[in-house]
Amino acid sequence: MSESTATRAAAATPPRVARKIRGLSDRAIAWLFVGPTIFLLLAINIFPLIWTVRLSFTNFKANRNRPIEWIGTRNYERILTDSDIWLNMQATAHFLFWTIFFQVLIGFTLAYLINKKFKGNDLWTTIIVLPMMLSPAVVGNFWKFLYQPQIGLFNYVVGFFTGKDPSSFEMLGSVDLAPWSIVIVDTWMWTPFVMLICLAGLRSIPDYIYEAAEIDRASKLRQFFTITIPMVLPFLMLAVLFRGIENFKMFDLVVQLTGGGPGSTTELTSINLKREAFEKWRTGYASAYAIILFVTVFGLASIYVKALNKVKER
Amino acid sequence: MSNFFTGLLRLRRGPWEMLATILIGLGVLMLMQPFVLWAYTYSFITTLVGTVMFIIVSHFKD
């Protein structure tokens, strides 16, 4: 079947092109195939990165038609001495830490439970992963309704369990509660992702290891800490890396929910960056801001890849 | 500890990567801590040095 396809393809190639290709070496043909991808990679990823680095040292404004002025490291100095941006970094750190903490905790627990063989576990897996499949814009909008103090289900449930009046608190409007409200929604949406990765880890552990442990009379707790956890750890670290990088640049969900408010309590760095770049049009300044975030994520990713390789070696 | 310093002097990958990792971690902590502004100010340069160092030293011999 494949031979006939190849023959047909060869026959369909115009004689002039076929003659040209026949004259090329294997290496040249390989480059011919890889070339377009490399070109796209350079054009879409590498060139904009280099251009952003260049712009970060200028006072360029994309909405003004004036010559670009070289201002050295002034943009970086401004960003790194601005206490408002420092607050945005803290808001991001709060969001990052707690979302990862809850997602790993709940995700691993769910994966552990789902991994036990029981009736209907496939159905439960499907139900649990549903939030992950929704669009962040949709999730943001319907959680906005759930958080409504008058008609919201969330306030009603909290009121039911704590005895508080449901309309006495506002999750999205309160300075103290708004950072937690975005943590709750992100955890609800992305815990299934962590669960799926953990489930893959748990299912990759061969049964004979547990059987050997049983023969050695290792307790269930001992098996959990000496077999399950070490073997799931690389998967867990991968999940943390993915969620860490994703949440560091979280934008859509939070914009839909709070728009960065009240005040700037939930204004994560990506939201602030977008405001600087496309509302205030301080392109040079925003480029420096983007480079700072990029270096941070790149550095963290390097550590993680190293840690992951070490765990794999074990 | 002496192995660590010997490794540094002999330009070995392990200890240098460890040093770069410490710098990156310290830089990220400085960037996101809520206590002192000066630490935030010097966070980027710390992370940048750590990251560039990591890229370079990951090509050293084991």
Among A268, A306, A308, A309, the strongest candidate for a mutation testing the B interface, having the largest count of B CBs within 10 A, is A306
Domain span including residue A29: 2-55
**What is the C-alpha separation between A37 and A40, in angstroms, rounded?**
5
The reply to whether ipTM tops 0.85 is: yes
Give dist(CA A155, CA A80) in Å, integer.
39
No. of H helices and E strands in chain B? Answer: 4, 0
Instruction: Give me the tens of pLDDT residue by residue for chain A, a chain 314 residues long.
Output: 455 565 666 677 777 666 666 677 888 888 989 999 999 999 999 999 999 999 999 999 988 888 888 999 999 999 999 999 999 999 999 999 999 999 999 999 999 999 887 888 888 888 899 999 999 999 999 899 999 988 889 989 998 898 888 888 888 988 999 999 999 999 999 999 999 999 999 998 998 999 999 999 989 999 999 999 999 988 888 888 889 888 988 999 999 999 887 888 999 999 999 999 999 999 999 999 999 999 999 998 888 888 777 766 76
Domain ranges in chain B?
2-57
Helix (H, G, I), strand (E, B) or coil at A68: coil
Residue of B13, B19, B24, B38 to mutate, testing the A interface (most A Cβ within 10 Å of its Cβ): B24
- Do A9 and A145 lie in a common domain? no
Q: Could you tell me if A180 and A44 lie in one domain?
A: no
Residue B24 sits at the chain A interface (C-beta within 8 Å): yes
Domain count within chain A:
2
Of A239, A40, A295, the C-alpha closest to B46 is A295
A206 and A92 in one domain? Answer: yes
Asked whether A174 and A262 are in contact (CB, 8 A), the reply is yes
Kindly state whether residues A209 and A281 are assigned to the same domain. yes
Residues A138 and A239 in one domain: yes
Tell me the chain A residues in contact with residue B31 when contact means C-beta distances shorter than 8 Å. Answer: 89, 296
Overall residue count recorded for chain A in this entry: 314
- Amino acid identity for residue A68 in this structure: I
Does B26 touch chain A if contact means CB atoms closer than 8 Å? no
For residue A66, give the 3-state DSSP assignment: coil
For residue A148, give the 3-state DSSP assignment: coil
The secondary structure of residue A164, as a DSSP letter, is -
* Euclidean distance between CA atoms A305 and B58, whole angstroms: 12
A245 Cβ contact partners less than 8 Å away, ≥ 6 residues apart: A297, A300, A301
Q: Is B61 helix (H, G, I), strand (E, B) or coil?
A: strand
Q: Is residue A74 in some structural domain? A: no
Contact (CB<8Å) A90/B41: no
State the CATH number of the domain containing residue A115: 1.10.3720.10
A243 located within any domain: yes
Q: Where residue B62 falls among pLDDT bands split at 50, 70, 90?
A: confident
| Residue A73, in any domain of the structure | no
Chain B hits for A81, Cβ within 8 Å: 37, 41
Q: Are residues A242 and A288 in the same domain?
A: yes
Asked if residue A255 and residue A106 are part of one domain, the reply reads yes
Query: A154 and A283 share a domain?
Result: yes
Domain identity same for A21 and A99: no
> Same structural domain for residues A250 and A114?
yes
